[in-house]
Amino acid sequence: MIRPVNPYPVGLDLEGRRVVVIGGGSVAQRRIPVLLDSGAVVHLVSPEITPTLQGLVDSGRIRWEAREFRSGDLDGAWYVVAATKDSLVNARVAAEAEQDRTFCVRSDAVHSGTAVTPAVVRRDEMLVAVLTGDRARTAEARDVVARALDGASAGTPDAEEELRGTVALVGGGPGADDLMTVRGRNLLSRADVVVADRLAPQRPLGELRPNVEIVDAAKIPYGRSMAQDAINQVLVDRAREGKFVVRLKGGDPFLYGRGYEEAQACAEAGIPCSVVPGVSSALSVPALAGIPVSNRGMTHEVTIVSGHLPPGHPGSLIDWEALARMRGTLVILMGVKNSPAIAESLMAGGRSADTPAAIIVDGSLDGQMTHRCTLGTMADTLAGRDVRPPAIVVVGAVAGLPQFLTRA
């Protein structure tokens, strides 16, 4: 079926409704976070999926059927996205959706589905959707609207020329797309290639021009990941092709983000590289949970440590005994698996088992949750609550302060 050239614009309420996505590649990776933000119950069918989508599966945010599409997969769906690399499969999906009177988007043939995904601009409570019938024109129009809303003029040709063949290391903040810096959003909108982490804001990727290459550089804890050397090579190779490359990271590029290694790789290859700092989850996530990492008369130091390696590991560079003797706030990143061992080490070094602690899961995202405990009860809390990454652990008196804040 060929879709009419003048579609009827409408906003869908997908809250709590079944949406089926067929295909687990980069297109699905762009679309699914937006669908989740709308409240959709997403069911994914694909033999393979990207590491970032795997992270959504592991966290229970989407359901995945690891197989090829088959008839009946669309039963009960309110909306369908056909996003495989096989046009024949996408055509089958679209045909079955039409038979079921379910609107369907085809990623490979925009005019062959019964719906079209618009280019979207979100600013606070305002949502602007743009449809022109041509993907390139749609993205261009969306970018003009976005710049107008941001009070910025369109980039000049000279400015675009200066970006070619360069790399920008952009900190995406703790996860929510509206906590990304204005400069980061601006550079992201001008990228030819985006090398994105799993914990980077995902929704802005759905707003990129359709010809932008997205490289999934997700690092799932103790699971699938893209080797750092491979990431470095992608940055260098794409920049040498004359493209503007954005390395989009969660948090800040230079705080456990391996940003310096990537900047060094670019420098050694003669590739100009810039850094856009991001809002670090080490400070912002406790704040969003109502926990000040410092408080007058209570703590005079804040220590941020990596929990990726447990105490006693031969590769660890952390003096846990020294940390146990300190009286201030300890913020542990990447430490969900090793937090019980860390708690034991801190208590063995002198910290009281009654020391307040807080475990903040999915900081800044809709599912953010805080589990209060103590050093002595941390292991039981982690197990009993089935805590999974991403989560941040705060240890110290500030973790026991009463909660006054509401989510903004």
Taking residues 118-141, what's their average pLDDT?
80
Q: Which range is least confidently modeled, 8-17, 71-80, 375-384?
A: 8-17
- Selected catalytic residue, list 108, 143, 177, 219: 219
pLDDT reading at 117 higher than 90? no
Please write down the long-range contacts of 291-296, taking CB distance under 8 Å and 24 or more positions apart. 291/358, 291/360, 291/370, 291/394, 291/398, 291/399, 291/401, 292/398, 292/401, 293/329, 293/331, 293/394, 293/398, 294/328, 294/329, 294/398, 295/397, 295/398, 295/401
Architecture of domain 157-278: 3-Layer(aba) Sandwich (3.40)
Task: For residue 219, indicate whether it is catalytic.
Answer: yes
Strand 63-65 relative to strand 213-216, pairing: unpaired
Burial code (b: 16+ CB inside 10 Å, e: under 16) for 159-192 equals: eeeebebbbbbbbbbbbbbebbbeebbbbbbbbb
Please name which of 65, 34, 70, 62 lies closest in space to residue 47, comparing C-alpha atoms. 65
Taking residues 91-116, what's their average pLDDT?
93
Taking residues 206-216, what's their average pLDDT?
90
- Could you tell me if 97 and 108 are in contact, meaning their C-beta atoms sit under 8 angstroms apart? no
Taking residues 119-136, what's their average pLDDT?
79
> Quick check: bond before 253 cis, omega within 30?
no
- Selected catalytic residue, list 108, 143, 192, 197: 197
Please name which of 356, 365, 257 lies closest in space to residue 306, comparing C-alpha atoms. 257
pLDDT reading at 38 higher than 80? yes
pLDDT reading at 329 higher than 50? yes
pLDDT reading at 3 higher than 80? no
Q: Tens digits of per-residue pLDDT, 220-277?
A: 666 667 889 999 999 999 999 999 999 999 999 999 999 999 999 999 999 999 999 9
Taking residues 84-104, what's their average pLDDT?
97
Q: What is the pLDDT of residue 399?
A: 97
Neighbouring-strand partners of residue 153: none
pLDDT reading at 397 higher than 90? yes
CATH superfamily for 18-112 is NAD(P)-binding Rossmann-like Domain (3.40.50.720)
Please give the residue that has the higher pLDDT: either 52 or 126.
52
- The structural domains of the chain, with segments of one domain joined by +, span 18-112, 118-154, 157-278, 282-400
Q: Tens digits of per-residue pLDDT, 301-319?
A: 999 999 999 999 999 999 9
Q: What is the pLDDT of residue 293?
A: 97
**Helix or strand or coil: residue 249?**
strand
Select from 3.90.550.10, 3.90.1530.30, 3.30.950.10, 3.30.70.20 the CATH code of 282-400.
3.30.950.10
Percent of the chain with pLDDT over 90: 76
Q: Which range is least confidently modeled, 24-33, 177-186, 210-219, 316-325?
A: 210-219
Taking residues 1-10, what's their average pLDDT?
66
Q: What is the pLDDT of residue 212?
A: 94
Taking residues 346-352, what's their average pLDDT?
96
115: pLDDT confidence band, cut at 50, 70 and 90? very high
pLDDT reading at 148 higher than 60? yes
Mean pLDDT of the chain: 91
pLDDT reading at 167 higher than 50? yes
357: pLDDT confidence band, cut at 50, 70 and 90? very high
**Helix or strand or coil: residue 55?**
helix
Task: For residue 150, indicate whether it is catalytic.
Answer: no
